[in-house]
Amino acid sequence: MTKRQAVTVLGGGSFGTAIASIAADNQYPVTQWLRDELLAQDINEKRRNTRYLPDYEINANVRATTDVVEAVSGADIIFVAIPSKAFASVVDQVSDQLRPDQIMISTAKGIREEGFLLMSEILKTHTPSQHIGVLSGPNLASEIAQKQMTATVVASDDQLTRESIQKVLGCDYFRVYASNDLFGVELGGALKNIYAIAAGMASALGVGENTRSMLITRSLAEMSRFAVSMGANPMTFLGLAGVGDLIVTCMSPLSRNFRVGYALGQGKSLDDAVNELGQVAEGVNTIRLVRNKAVEMQVYMPLACGLYEVLFNDMPVEKVIRGLMSGEQSTDVEFVLPRTWSSGFASERRSRAMSEKKQGIATEVFWLRIIFMLFFVVAYQIAELLLGLSVLLQVVFIAVTGDKNLFLQQTGASLSRYAYQVYRYLTYNREEKPFPFTAWPEGESPDADPYQPTDQD
């Protein structure tokens, strides 16, 4: 019988706990690492995560520990379910204990501020693992814990990683689809948190269903626009990690980011909203990072920028809404009909494009000049060759006919005509009439030259 892979989950939050129990339900040995010793004791003894999922019974195959080195040293697959702010520090604690053959999967839906790094990029640079992936999708931890039918996406460049996670987590209530667009899947999970906050605010303000629909679809347009500018595949956002995750997080009060937005819509401060939640809402930090990155890259993101003004500059929500509704009316799906740019930084973007176009034209002109010069040199050499062939043919003709006088007369005429044309070309005033010219100066045509040989010479 094949030995089952050992699974480790780093993190004691609701999603990490749910993932640990799914793998345990599939008969895999699971170790879950937590910082809180009392919480680890509750999991081992009461089979409950009393802080985050108190009503959910955890599978007996899950063993909790507070020793992170012990947790990773014997693992074959490691799920890193740590909030983005602490993600790198936890990974660095165990980087010396990790092996290249271990599969490492990030479940965090956030972005690191320093360097604007996604969690998979941190895993690639901070660990020796050759099997990196991410897990993302419409996955509310409490519903997974209740074993409600759920689907997710595992994204990796590595086929072994994708197939291994599908095998470990796939069951009758949790379906795992595969993708090779690691960047797109991860960005989808991070960006949708922004719009969940906006959706929560809209719900608290009592907006209609038309408004909710408009908000979600324009949010999807913004997400895909930004992600594509970062190198993602726009088609990824038509799947679970894009529109799927966006729908559930923008419509469900179980979503942490939705709840933060709802509290803000009720008039509470950002600090009060986050403290009331009691858990990490990645969207708050993501709004600031993505808005700044969008300004830097000149990506049009009116929803994210408007939400930034509300959260961090205390702009009234009503003013932001008026600005959004009175803004530019452009295309719906810009991957079908390209967006037309106008005001704001879009104008600067257009100017830069025109500048680049002019530079390209200048480069083309330069190479055309080079090509023309080469053409002229080659043509000159061909002319010399033809002249030489002409002389040679005349020599052969003389040898055959024996008419020496005819040979001298024709050769002299050819040489003098050719020499005069070269001389006139080199001394012609090109500033008054640039080359190539269509006519010689009056009275100076080669045909009228007094020194040209005649029949009397």
Reply yes or no on whether the pLDDT at 54 is more than 50: yes
Least confident range of 130-134, 279-283, 362-366, 404-408: 404-408
Q: Tens digit of pLDDT for each residue in 146-165?
A: 999 999 999 999 999 999 99
Predicted confidence at residue 373, as pLDDT, reads: 78
Predicted confidence at residue 73, as pLDDT, reads: 92
Containing H/E element for 339? none
CATH code of the region 1-180: 3.40.50.720
* Spatial separation of the C-alpha atoms in residues 182 and 129, rounded to whole Å: 16
Least confident range of 18-27, 47-56, 312-321: 312-321
Length of the chain: 457
Reduced to 3 states, what is the DSSP secondary structure of residue 276? helix
Reduced to 3 states, what is the DSSP secondary structure of residue 5? coil
Question: Which of 27-40 are b and which e, b meaning 16 or more Cβ less than 10 Å from the residue's Cβ?
Answer: ebbbbbbbeeeebb
Reply yes or no on whether the pLDDT at 94 is more than 60: yes
Which of the four pLDDT bands, split at 50, 70 and 90, describes residue 403? low
Least confident range of 145-154, 370-379, 423-432: 423-432
Q: Provide mean pLDDT across the span 91-108.
A: 96
Predicted confidence at residue 316, as pLDDT, reads: 81
Which of the four pLDDT bands, split at 50, 70 and 90, describes residue 456? very low
Q: Taking Cα atoms as reference points, which of 324, 285, 282 lies closest to residue 301?
A: 324
**Contact assessment for residue 404 and residue 398, using Cβ atoms and an 8 Å cutoff:** yes
* Spatial separation of the C-alpha atoms in residues 447 and 457, rounded to whole Å: 16
Domain boundaries along the sequence of the chain: 1-180, 182-340, 348-448
Q: Taking Cα atoms as reference points, which of 313, 51, 310 lies closest to residue 200?
A: 310
Reply yes or no on whether the pLDDT at 333 is more than 90: no
CB atoms within 10 A of CB 247: 16
**Catalytic status, residue 167:** no
Average pLDDT, the chain: 83
* Spatial separation of the C-alpha atoms in residues 388 and 433, rounded to whole Å: 31
* Spatial separation of the C-alpha atoms in residues 48 and 42, rounded to whole Å: 6
DSSP assignment letter at 207: -
Predicted confidence at residue 189, as pLDDT, reads: 92
What lies within 8 Å, CB to CB, of 111 at 6+ separation is 84, 117, 118, 190, 285, 286, 289, 290
| pTM for the predicted model, two decimal places | 0.70
For the record, the structure tokens of 196 come out as: 């969940």
* Spatial separation of the C-alpha atoms in residues 248 and 264, rounded to whole Å: 19
Q: What is the dihedral of CA 44, 46, 49, 54, to 10 degrees?
A: 170
Which member of 109, 147, 192, 404 is catalytic?
Answer: 192
For the record, the structure tokens of 396 come out as: 């052969």
Which of the four pLDDT bands, split at 50, 70 and 90, describes residue 136? very high
CATH number, domain 182-340, options 3.90.420.10, 1.10.1040.10, 3.40.50.460, 3.40.50.2300: 1.10.1040.10
